[in-house]
């Protein structure tokens, strides 16, 4: 019991806020210790937890000269960041962010509009300074000056207009039946509803973690150097994503966040029943940038709790690239699904196999989808 109170006091000093421990088991002869039910208080929101951990098991070494606790072969089980979870909290957080967008703190809509206008202006200038445009302009000017080769000039104008049309105007698809296009748009809308809100909620929670980490880095920079710190040389972690229990390693992490100068690399593996997966990447704690790749060769779609309201059956493979900074998340990936049973809409019940390429950027909250559904249906109709 005394050891528990001493650890809570020392870890509280390192955390600069309370740390509560449920129980402690130790072996002093082997320099081994196990902590259970750990609660780490937030710096951003005093009186609330920032992190909860079910269990930490580790070997350790105390360096009194440098006031450093070195941890070896550390296992962290059940790591959980405490962010808003219930519907009321998330609703309030979404409204708060909406106000920030309107106030210009996160002017994503404006940035997206400017990018679109810039693309339009670029295309306009490409046309204006093209050879075809100049030939049309010269032909019109010659006719205005009274040249008699009108037929020749008209042919020049017609030919160069056709060249411009082929270069810059994409032909509309007219051979695809409207019913199939309507179904494809419905599928796109369905998948957008299915994914976008989940991604955005994840982003909002990530931003809450970012605010906490920024505050911790700020406070850490202001601290003296002659204080105790924890150096974790090799950490095994266990957590859950997409219904898969991942486990893997993170190396060289320091409790003094401002001392984590280099990117922290990680590679995690996981499986659950027939579902297997891997996530690897790099995290910069000072810039709070994350780059990662998620690869799940076989995924049981109904095993994902969030998808159960949309699917009653299905398996898939998923490859996804993830980029996150302090404010935004960008995703790009491929999902190949088989034996799906989409619910809630009779028309969608016929869709069983589907390949989806997608990308998402939280700046404009648009999920861009490209499916093979229309192509497959057109090929099927031609074959029949």
Provide the greatest CA pair distance for the chain.
107
Question: In this predicted model, what pLDDT tens digit does every residue of 36-76 receive, in sequence order?
Answer: 999 999 888 877 888 899 999 999 998 888 888 999 889 99
Which pLDDT tens digit goes with each residue over 320-339? 898 888 888 888 888 887 77
Confidence of residue 312 (pLDDT cuts 50, 70, 90): low
Segment 337-359, tens digit of pLDDT = 777 666 655 555 666 677 878 88
> Within 10 A of 247 (CB to CB), how many other CB atoms are there?
14
**Mean pLDDT in the chain?**
74
Q: What angle do CA 82, 319, 212 make, to 5 degrees?
A: 20
Q: What is the pLDDT of residues 79-104, one digit of tens each?
A: 888 765 555 655 665 555 543 433 33
> Dihedral, CA atoms, 72, 78, 81, 84, nearest 10 degrees?
180
In sequence order, what are the beta bridge partners of 271? 245, 276
Look-up of token digits 């984590």: 260
Question: Model's pTM, two decimal places?
Answer: 0.57
Q: What is the pLDDT of residue 147?
A: 64
pLDDT score recorded for residue 237 = 84
- Look at residue 144 in the predicted model and tell me its pLDDT: 72
Q: Tens digits of per-residue pLDDT, 197-254?
A: 666 777 777 778 888 888 888 888 888 777 888 988 888 887 766 556 778 888 888 8
- Residues near 33 by Cβ (< 8 Å), separated by ≥ 6? 24, 25, 26, 27, 57, 58, 60
pLDDT in tens, 161-211: 777 777 766 544 434 444 444 455 555 555 565 566 666 777 777 778 888
């Amino acid at each position: 019991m005394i050891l528990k109170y001493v650890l809570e006091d020392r870890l509280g000093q390192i955390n600069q806020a309370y740390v509560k421990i449920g129980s402690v088991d130790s072996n002093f002869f082997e320099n081994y210790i196990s902590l259970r039910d750990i609660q780490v208080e937030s710096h951003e929101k005093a009186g609330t937890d920032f992190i909860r951990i079910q269990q930490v098991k580790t070997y350790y070494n105390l360096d009194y000269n440098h006031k450093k606790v070195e941890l070896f072969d550390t296992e962290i089980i059940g790591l959980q960041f405490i962010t808003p979870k219930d519907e009321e909290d998330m609703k309030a957080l979404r409204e708060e962010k909406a106000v920030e967008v309107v106030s210009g703190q996160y002017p994503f809509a404006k940035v997206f509009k400017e990018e679109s206008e810039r693309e339009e202006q670029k295309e306009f200038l490409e046309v204006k300074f093209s050879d075809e445009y100049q030939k049309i302009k010269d032909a019109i000017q010659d006719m205005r000056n009274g040249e008699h080769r009108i037929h020749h000039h008209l042919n020049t104008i017609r030919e160069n207009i056709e060249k411009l049309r082929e270069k810059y105007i994409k032909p509309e698809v007219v051979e695809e039946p409207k019913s199939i296009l309507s179904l494809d748009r419905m599928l796109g809308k369905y998948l957008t509803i299915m994914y976008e809100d989940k991604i955005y909620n994840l982003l909002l929670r990530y931003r809450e973690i970012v605010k906490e980490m920024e505050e911790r880095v700020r406070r850490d920079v202001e601290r003296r150097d002659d204080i105790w710190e924890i150096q974790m040389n090799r950490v095994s972690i266990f957590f859950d994503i997409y219904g898969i229990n991942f486990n893997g390693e993170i190396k060289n992490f320091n409790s003094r966040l401002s001392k984590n100068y280099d990117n922290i690399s990680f590679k995690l593996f996981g499986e659950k029943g027939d579902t297997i997966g891997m996530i690897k990447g790099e995290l910069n704690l000072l810039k709070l940038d994350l780059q990662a790749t998620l690869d799940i060769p076989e995924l049981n779609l109904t095993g994902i709790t969030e998808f159960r309201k949309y699917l009653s059956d299905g398996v898939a493979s998923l490859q996804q690239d993830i980029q996150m900074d302090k404010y935004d998340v960008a995703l790009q990936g491929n999902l190949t699904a088989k034996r799906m049973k989409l619910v809630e809409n009779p028309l969608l019940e016929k869709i069983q196999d589907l390949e989806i390429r997608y990308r998402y950027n939280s700046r404009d909250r648009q999920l861009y989808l490209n499916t093979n559904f229309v192509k497959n249906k057109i090929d099927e109709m031609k074959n029949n």
